[in-house]
């Protein structure tokens, strides 16, 4: 069994909680409160912005063959930020002066610290799970959302053929990196796989529940 298949099976219960999350269900059904979706938008805008340094920090450790692919992600993320700004204007959401929630901030720091302190295969695991989680999550929303919804362009973005191909590329490459790794490194890759899935689930909780910091207010 490939590394990814194995890990996805091992962490099924987390993926089920993620993919059945009320934030995704309510976005799909159109019952989500405007302010709830706006909260996600503001937080995810910061997250995408912070993903650029993460990708950049992977490049010096990447094998030659991955450098070109990762180099192309940076302008793609800049384009994604434009999508947020465009939607924000259409939906009347302000992206100014947003500060990250604890979950958002901690997740971003996790991406960065993984890129700096972990082996390439380990940090690449984190990248894969984050992208896979978004593809799967927005695929849930796609199956039912009104195409006229103001939020529909986000669904299109993360369920497009291009994004699907990117996630499949990451999966193939991650399987290859896991095959080449020794058992101790593969063990650490598995731990990071689970940890990233837990952050993704926590991100939806925060999207649905609000961005306040624990103990504050």
| 79 is a site residue for a second copy (CB under 8 A) | no
Rounded CA separation 152/142 (Å): 8
| 134 is a site residue for a second copy (CB under 8 A) | no
Site size with a second copy, rule: CB under 8 A? 57
| 60 is a site residue for a second copy (CB under 8 A) | yes
Q: Phi and psi dihedrals of 214, rounded to 5?
A: -55, 130
Q: Is 182 helix (H, G, I), strand (E, B) or coil?
A: coil
Q: Which whole-number Å values give the CA distances from 93 to 24, 28, 145, in the listed order?
A: 19, 20, 20
Residue from the set 19, 61, 88, 98 that interacts with a second copy by CB under 8 A: 61
Residues 14 and 197 sit within 8 Å (Cβ to Cβ): yes
Window 95 to 114, contacts with a second copy (CB under 8 A): 102-103, 105-110, 112-114
Q: Can you tell me which residue has the tokens 């984050």?
A: 130
Residue from the set 72, 85, 164, 172 that interacts with a second copy by CB under 8 A: 72
Residues 100 and 112 sit within 8 Å (Cβ to Cβ): no
Residues at the interface with a second copy (CB under 8 A): 14, 17-18, 21, 49, 52-54, 56-61, 64, 67-68, 71-72, 74-75, 78, 102-103, 105-110, 112-114, 116-120, 180-185, 195, 198-199, 201-202, 204-206, 209, 213-216
């Amino acid at each position: 069994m490939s590394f990814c298949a194995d890990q996805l099976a091992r962490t099924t219960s987390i993926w089920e909680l993620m993919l059945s999350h009320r934030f995704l269900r309510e976005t799909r059904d159109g019952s989500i409160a405007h302010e709830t979706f706006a909260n996600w938008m503001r937080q995810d805008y910061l997250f995408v912005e912070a993903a650029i340094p993460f990708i950049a920090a992977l490049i010096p450790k990447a094998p030659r063959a991955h450098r070109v692919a990762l180099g192309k992600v940076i302008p793609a993320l800049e384009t994604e930020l434009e999508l947020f700004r465009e939607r924000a204007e259409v939906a009347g959401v302000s992206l100014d002066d947003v500060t990250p929630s604890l979950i958002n901030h901690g997740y971003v720091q996790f991406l960065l610290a993984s890129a700096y302190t972990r082996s390439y295969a380990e940090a690449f695991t984190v990248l894969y799970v984050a992208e896979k989680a978004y593809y799967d999550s927005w695929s849930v929303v796609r199956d039912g959302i009104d195409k006229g919804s103001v939020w529909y362009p986000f669904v299109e973005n993360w369920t497009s053929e291009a994004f699907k191909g990117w996630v499949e590329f990451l999966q193939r490459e991650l399987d290859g990196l896991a095959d080449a790794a020794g058992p101790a490194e593969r063990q650490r890759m598995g731990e990071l796989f689970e940890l990233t899935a837990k952050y993704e689930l926590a991100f939806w909780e925060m999207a649905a529940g609000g961005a306040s910091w624990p103990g504050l207010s």
